[in-house]
Amino acid sequence: MKHYFWWAASVCFLLLFACGCDDTSQTPRIKQEVIDFDRTGGTKVNEVVLKKNPWFFHTLVVYEQDPSATTVNKVRERELTKDEMEISTTKDGSKVIHYEWITFCISKDTRTVTVTAEENKTGKPRSIYFFALAIVWGPSFTVTQSE
């Protein structure tokens, strides 16, 4: 009798778990997960494949070389605060996010993210993560620039 109870309880739990899962098939996706620039910089457009769920910009994460880091490749990641970025909205409704060497422009319809990287005069490679959210996960991607 105990076995039937535990079997029934397990089946009920699995059914409850399966019914509670979110449908991620409608989550927007980004076309390019990594955008690379050479040291001269430039502008590239990344397209978002929109399904049903909207998405929004959350933050930028900077990857910096850190000789004192305990990781194998000596890189430290740092999430930027809103005060460290310049965020504005243009007259046409596009959102512009600027940080030191890079600018992201999200179109009003959120179908494109235009990325502009300035020339890299630091002599070091640079990398930044554009972190976006939707219901579950948004169209996030990484931008790298060679030294």
pLDDT digits 0-9 by tens, 3-61: 555 555 555 555 555 445 555 567 899 999 999 999 999 999 999 998 788 999 999 99
Range of the domain at 94: 23-145
For residue 13, tell me if it sits in a domain: no
Q: What is the CATH number of the domain that holds 67?
A: 2.60.40.10
For residue 104, tell me if it sits in a domain: yes
pLDDT at 19: 47
**pLDDT digit string, tens, across residues 64-103:** 876 666 666 667 788 999 999 999 999 999 999 999 999 9
For residue 9, tell me if it sits in a domain: no
Q: For the whole model, what pTM was predicted? A: 0.79
Write the CA distances from 53 to 11, 27, 48, integer angstroms. Answer: 31, 6, 12
Buried b (16+ CB within 10 A) or exposed e, 6-40: eeeeeeeeeeeeeeeeeeeeebbbbebeebebeee
Query: How far, in Å, CA of 112 to CA of 94, rounded?
Result: 10
Tokens of 129: 């993560």
pLDDT at 136: 75
For residue 97, tell me if it sits in a domain: yes
Q: How many separate domains does the chain show? A: 1
**Bridge-based pairing state of the strands 141-145 and 34-37:** parallel
Per DSSP (E only), the strands in 38-94 are 42-49, 56-65, 75-79, 86-89
DSSP letter for 10, please.
H
For residue 130, tell me if it sits in a domain: yes
DSSP 3-state assignment of 36?
strand
For residue 32, tell me if it sits in a domain: yes
For residue 66, tell me if it sits in a domain: yes
Please choose, from the candidates 6, 38, 33, the residue with its C-alpha nearest in 3D space to the C-alpha of residue 147: 38
